[in-house]
Structure 1
Amino acid sequence: MSNAISFDQIDAFRKELAAKPASDVVAKAVQNVGPKAAIQSALHDEAVTPVFSVELDTGAVANQKHSGRCWLFSELNTMRHAVAKKIGVKDLEFSQAFLAFYDRLEKSNLFLEAILSSADKPLDDRALSDLLSQPNGDGGQFDNAPALIAKYGIVPKSVMPETYNSENTTELNSVLNLKLRKDASDLRTAFAAGASADTLAATKQAMLSDIYRILAYAYGTVPATFDFEYRDDKKEYHIDRDLTPKSFYEKYVGWDLAEFVTLVSTPEAGKNYYQAYTIPSQNTVVGGRPIIFVNVPEADLKAAAIAQLQGGEAVWFGNDVLQDMERKSGALKGGLYDFGQLFDLDLTMDKATRFATGEAEVSHAMTLTGVDLVDGQPRRWKVENSWGKENGNDGYYVADAKWFDDYVYEAAINKDYLSEKILAAAATTPIELPSWDSLH
């Protein structure tokens, strides 16, 4: 029996389509304006009104442009508003380029270390194949930034601005990936030829020097020391001399990032609530802070985010912004695009199935800076994005309750706002997940 599509089947498909009510009207709408515009529900209603009962005092939004550094922008956003208030500079911004430089260098080191440790494995080994598919990119997880900050510190954006045009990120990614794949091939060849450990280490050192040069050309040379010079919002002049990136962080931010726990909420089979998980392949700073998630029910994640906002602290959160988002208005509205209704299909999947099939994806990270509570329950959330001020409400988005429930998968929460049950879960031995896990 052949499984090929037959012309009899195609004829049956054609007749079934012709029998569908209003099929011509639906076809014209989709062809003229596209599926989203054809089915988009109302944008301007109570669910996405930008008014919040709990709202932090924040400044202008940042702009990651065409880079994948949302995780880094969002984390620095949680810090900069607090520091801005302390020193009286409302629109203070920390240098994303500084940490991006070291992130790409650390990822290169991680990749080369992984290549050396798997040099005896065939290229079709799943973990090795997954590694080679993306040797170096600018995406990341919450825990990657604390690992970088603990090692390198931070600097204000005035000290290391975005000299690199991040619109060209795809080109930089291509160069780094080409370089690292060539390095992987050379290391494997040297290993197969019986090169000593010292020779392999020296070869890797030279490779990293090449990567450093590429990054310096792209991002600029990172400062070892600097003066922090600024005028506050009252136009008063300040200068703090001879700072290092680490001393700047300790003096002006001073957060113990070990006090933050990344909560995830997935009911996917094989993942238990109140259990810690880790993905070693994502630990980009070798020897630094590992990536650890604590899986909790959705209600716990939501309650912790609310408690942190009520405590006056912004919340880093991972989400799938590509779902039910209207970019221009900044509306994040559950059910905004009902493609099932448009195409007369049942497209409903519960969250567990969405994770298991790859439909659920942490595609973006943003910052929660407000919430509107009615009888203690969230009606809508204020979201600080990092896509510039042109969209939304000067760059701030509004998420309704359904969108949050459907598409918010992670949140980084200070231990002060976590229950004893979650703190106990965070202390469990993390279960290791492979590099291709849905939480990667």
Structure 2
Amino acid sequence: MASALCPAIFFAAPASGQGKTTMTAAIARLLTRHGKKVRIFKTGPDYLDPQILEQASKNPVVQIDLWMAGEAWCRQQFYLAAQSADIILVEGAMGLFDGSPSSADLAAYFNIPVALIMDVKGMAQTAGAVAAGLARFRDDCKVIGLVANNCASQRHQELIEQTLPDDLPLITTLKRSEEIALPERHLGLVQASEVRDELEQRFEAAADLLDAERLLSWLAELPAIEFFAEPEQVMEPLLAGVKIAVAKDQAFSFIYQSNLALLESLGASVCFFSPLQDSQLPDADALWLPGGYPELHAQALAENKAMKQQIAAFHQQGKPILAECGGFLYCMEQLTDLAGEQFEMLALMPGQGSMRGKRGCQGMQTAVLPEGDVRGHAHHRSRSAQTPEPIGYGKRQRHPAPGEEIYRYGSLTASYLHLFFASNPAAVASLFSNKAAG
């Protein structure tokens, strides 16, 4: 078994909303200023945070999840990163012990020490008590420091430090500032490509606010971790000669880079097109319409009649199409946006999609397909209606109730589920070939 050595730290928190992404991005930017090659992993099925972190670190960011991707795949990703990185940062999801597997499970499995990120606004000595309690909750998860976000002053910092045990130092602080807040919308952070210049300013401002000397000194003392990987399996070229066109623009951007890599490892060639701006569909054998924000661009999608006609003709030819979440909404007859206005979509299948504000569905699920089970997740704030009978349902990770409906309408496979292709390469290859089961 091959191995590679690299220092690593896992940034986790007591809960969501503590500033993990802001702090991880700030630390990554500070390290890049000092010439370090930083590789970041984001825990869980997240599309938006990795875009932010990729820009901050100037390196690719990989989503990592033991359930969705599997242990062997996760080991391989850490091993590959460790071969070239000066340091690996991992951003957790939700609270440290939330979920199954949790951030703590992932940190323990790879023996990565944890630094707690905590929003200390409205507390002082209690921050030390909470941090100490989290640090002692599990023996196999090693918490080695605290990062204080929204720290108001030097005195505030001192009050927190006084209550921390000797083996749990205060690593750095980040002051309250509107200049470093990351822009948000209804599904989370705004896509990095929409606010690239603004993000640069915020990364730099946040890095300036860190206690750089203390932080860099602490990070320099992190021991190297040995990351192992089994011999990489050579993929059978199940998609050799298949060209897959992928929708990618401001409306459709929820794409795992690892999914693209998997398609290419199966022998496929991948090209991109914009349902918003292009009038011509690329010459391709299959389409992938991923998730994104079609509701924010519904009028432009509706008015691009040339592209709609091209995709409809593609479907009529019986060529495979995979539509996920936002792509699924695009494939129905109409989409009603957040303002209640209705727009004509592709009409590849019967149905209407509509946004529903702040409440939505999320969670890990397995897509039970005729081609085989593929793991993934759901995260949406819309609903579908008047759709045909589904061919199956997602299987929830920890609940017996049926998950998201899965539709097969001609050569179209559509669902709210976002699939993680590496969980079943053979099934994914069948979806994008003319071998898809009816």
- TM-score calculated relative to the size of structure 1: 0.25
Tell me which structure has the larger Cα radius of gyration. 1
Greater share of residues in helix = 1
Bigger relative contact order, structure 1 or 2, given CA contacts below 8 A and separation 6+? Answer: 1
Greater share of residues in strand = 2
